[in-house]
Amino acid sequence: MERSFDPRLGELLERLHDRYNRPEFIPEDPISVPHRYTGRADREVAGFFAATIAWGNRKAIVRSGHRLMRLMDDAPADFVRNASERELAQLASFVHRTFNGGDLRDFVLALRRMMALYGGIGAFFESRFEAAGSLPETLAAFRREFFGSPHAPRCEKHLSSVEKGAACKRLCMYLRWMVRRDERGVDFGEWTRIPMSALRLPLDVHAGETGRALGLLARRTNDWRAVEEITAALREFDPRDPVRFDFALFGAGMDGYRG
C-alpha cells in the first residue's frame, strides 16, 4: 500500500543524501576496507569481512578491517583461495569484539568452499537472485550455503538469519556496496545482475532512529519487518534506487538529527 508523504521530506532526503553520499565519506567508514582494492574478487572478499565485523565503534571497525587485510597479505581473494595451514594459523591473533581468530578461520574456509563451487561470492548472489527473484530468499540461501562447510557452531551468530527475522544489517550493507552504482563512486556497482531496486536498507540504530523521526518507520523493533517497512517508504521517493538514502539516514543519525 502506497503511503502519502510531505514533498518537503523528499527534499530533505535529497539534501542529506547529497551531503553524505560523497567520497569524503569513505575513509572513516568500513567501506574504506574494500576500497583498498581495484579487482572484483578482492573487493568481494574484503567487503564481506569488513561488513561481517561492522558493529560497534566505527573507528574500531575500520582499524580492525584494515588489520585483517594485512593479515591476509593485502591480497584477500588469493589468501582465501590458497592460504596454507601455517598462514591460516596466523589468523588466530585477530579479534574484533566477539569475532575471534577461530571464527575468522571458519569464515575463510567457508568462503574458500563457496568460491570453489561458484567462482566467487558475487557469482553466487547474482545467480541465486536471478533464480529466486527475491532478496530475502537469496540471503537465506547464502547463509545456508555458507555454513555448508564444517565450522564451529559459535561462528553462526556472526551471519544473521533473515529466516529468523533478523534485520541482516551487515549483509544488506554489503549488498549495497557491491550492487549500487552512481557517479559518486562510493559504492562499487560490481554485481550488475541484481537491480538496485531489490536492495533493502541496512537498518542500524542510527538509520532507525532517523527513519522514525522522519515518519518513515513506525515499527519500534529493528528487525526484518522494519527493514521492509522503511525500504518500502523510501521507494516512494526513488523506486529505482531506494537504498541510496542509507547515506542520508545514517549520516543524519550519526550527527544527531532528530527532525
For 172-214, the pLDDT digits (tens) are 999 999 999 998 999 999 999 999 999 999 999 889 999 999 9
49: cell is: 569481512
- pTM of this prediction? 0.95
In this predicted structure, what is the pLDDT of residue 248? Answer: 86
> Which band of pLDDT confidence, cut at 50, 70 and 90, is reported for residue 247?
confident
Distance of alpha carbon 81 from alpha carbon 258, whole angstroms = 46
> Which band of pLDDT confidence, cut at 50, 70 and 90, is reported for residue 257?
low
Do 111 and 147 contact (CB within 8 A), yes or no? no
Do 221 and 165 contact (CB within 8 A), yes or no? no
Summarised one tens digit per residue, pLDDT across range 6-45 is 889 999 999 999 988 999 989 999 999 999 999 999 999 9
Distance of alpha carbon 162 from alpha carbon 91, whole angstroms = 29
- Residues 85-105 have a mean pLDDT of 97
In this model, does residue 169 exceed pLDDT 60? yes
Angle between helices 169-179 and 135-146 (to 10 degrees): 110
DSSP 149-197: S---GGGGGGS--GGGT---HHHHHHHHHHH---TT-SS----TTS-GG
In this predicted structure, what is the pLDDT of residue 60? Answer: 96
- Tell me how far apart the 2 most distant CA atoms of the chain are, in Å: 59
In this predicted structure, what is the pLDDT of residue 2? Answer: 60
Q: Which of 111, 103, 51 is nearest to 81 (CA)?
A: 111
Per DSSP, 240 falls in state S
Rg (CA), the chain: 18
119: cell is: 567462482
Provide the 10 A C-beta neighbour count for residue 110: 20
Distances (CA, A) of 193 to 11, 149, 154, 233: 30, 26, 33, 24
In this predicted structure, what is the pLDDT of residue 252? Answer: 76
> Which band of pLDDT confidence, cut at 50, 70 and 90, is reported for residue 5?
confident
Summarised one tens digit per residue, pLDDT across range 112-162 is 999 999 999 999 999 999 999 999 999 999 999 999 989 999 999 999 999
Residues 6+ apart with CB under 8 A from 219: 225, 226, 229
In this predicted structure, what is the pLDDT of residue 48? Answer: 98
Three-class DSSP category at 95? strand
Can you count the helices (H) and strands (E) in the chain?
Answer: 12, 2
Distance of alpha carbon 16 from alpha carbon 4, whole angstroms = 20
Distance of alpha carbon 125 from alpha carbon 45, whole angstroms = 13
Three-class DSSP category at 22? coil
In this model, does residue 258 exceed pLDDT 60? no
In this predicted structure, what is the pLDDT of residue 256? Answer: 62
Which secondary structure element, helix H or strand E, spans residue 100, and what is its range?
strand 99-100
In this predicted structure, what is the pLDDT of residue 255? Answer: 64
